[in-house]
Amino acid sequence: MNLAPKKPKEEAYEDIPGTYVFDAKRSRAGYWLNMFCMSMMTDAGRKAFKANESEYLDRFPMTPEQKKAILDRNWDKMLELGGNIYYTSKLAATDGLTFQNIAAIMTGSTQEDYAKMMLAGGRPPKGNRSKSDWKNKKHG
């Protein structure tokens, strides 16, 4: 009988290029990161955060990596560490950024180029789907 701990199962969607799916695992990992972001919905929360960002973050039991991602405004890293895009957008709004601004930052483009890409139909599916899906199926 093998009593070694099982390796956590990697979900099939973990290899989608440039995407972090907000699943139950990420939800649990990012709970406090998301609660911090929700606190940006109150004037008192925004003022306290802007007065001393590091000190304010200490109110939430996040990992050092999560706090660093917030302080660096590393939007992709926040999502990887369990942030939900709808919650992290509260932080963006606190900084005067729109959803479109952070989407452009996250894709490495300008806001204008991002808007053009979306108006033209968004990213093409080829090369932007799960790599394992493409390996296992024929796609035209």
What's the rounded Cα separation, in Å, for the pair 34 and 41? 12
What's the rounded Cα separation, in Å, for the pair 75 and 102? 7
Residue ranges per structural domain of the chain = 20-136
Q: What is the pLDDT along the chain (140 residues), one digit of tens a residue?
A: 566 655 556 666 677 666 777 788 888 999 999 999 999 999 999 999 999 999 999 999 999 999 999 999 999 999 999 999 999 999 999 999 988 898 888 888 888 988 898 888 887 767 666 656 545 554 44
Query: Does the structural domain 20-136 have CATH classification 3.10.180.10?
Result: no
What's the rounded Cα separation, in Å, for the pair 109 and 96? 18
Which pTM was predicted?
Answer: 0.77
Residue 74 and residue 23 in contact, taking contact as beta carbons nearer than 8 Å: no
What's the rounded Cα separation, in Å, for the pair 111 and 9? 37
